[in-house]
Amino acid sequence: MSTQVRLRVALAAFFLVFFQGLAVPQQPAGESQCCSVVRQALDAIGRIKKDTKRADIEKEFIPDGGIYSRSRTVYRFKLCTYIKVQISFTLDPKYKGFVDGSPIDTANSVSKPYIEFGAAD
């Protein structure tokens, strides 16, 4: 193999490794573990779209407790239960429960996230 070919291969390998590192989102320098959890919560909330099923939401969130109804529920992020979001649902007409939601109720609106202590029943 000629020197010129070896140099090209080495440069190609270098740029491949260098640009792959740039493409992978990484935790910013100095970001704390707490900020990482907030980032995860924001990502999870961002994935909740119109028609997302309640069962899918409850994989990452838990109902807050307190007084709520099936049509509007406050959820807490599982990794940090101080982070909350309120979700309104379109209800499954076949399900007759008033408080407990059907796994196939679908989201129709999502509040901005907020921070608050858990509800006291």
pLDDT tens for 70-107 read 899 999 999 999 999 999 999 999 998 777 889 999 99
| Mean per-residue pLDDT of the chain | 83
Which structural domain, as residue segments, surrounds residue 76? Answer: 50-121
Q: Is residue 89 part of a domain?
A: yes
CB 57 within 8 A of CB 85: no
Measured over the CA atoms of residue 46, residue 47, residue 50 and residue 55, the dihedral's sign is negative
Q: Is residue 35 part of a domain?
A: no
Q: Which two tokens stand for residue 111?
A: 């509040």
pLDDT for 121 equals 57
Is pLDDT at 112 greater than 50 in this prediction? Answer: yes
pLDDT digits (tens, 9 = 90+) for 4-35: 656 565 555 555 555 554 444 555 566 678 88
Distance CA 109, CA 58 (A): 15
Q: Is residue 15 part of a domain?
A: no
Domains held by the chain: number: 1
pLDDT for 85 equals 97
Length of the chain: 121
Distance CA 80, CA 62 (A): 11
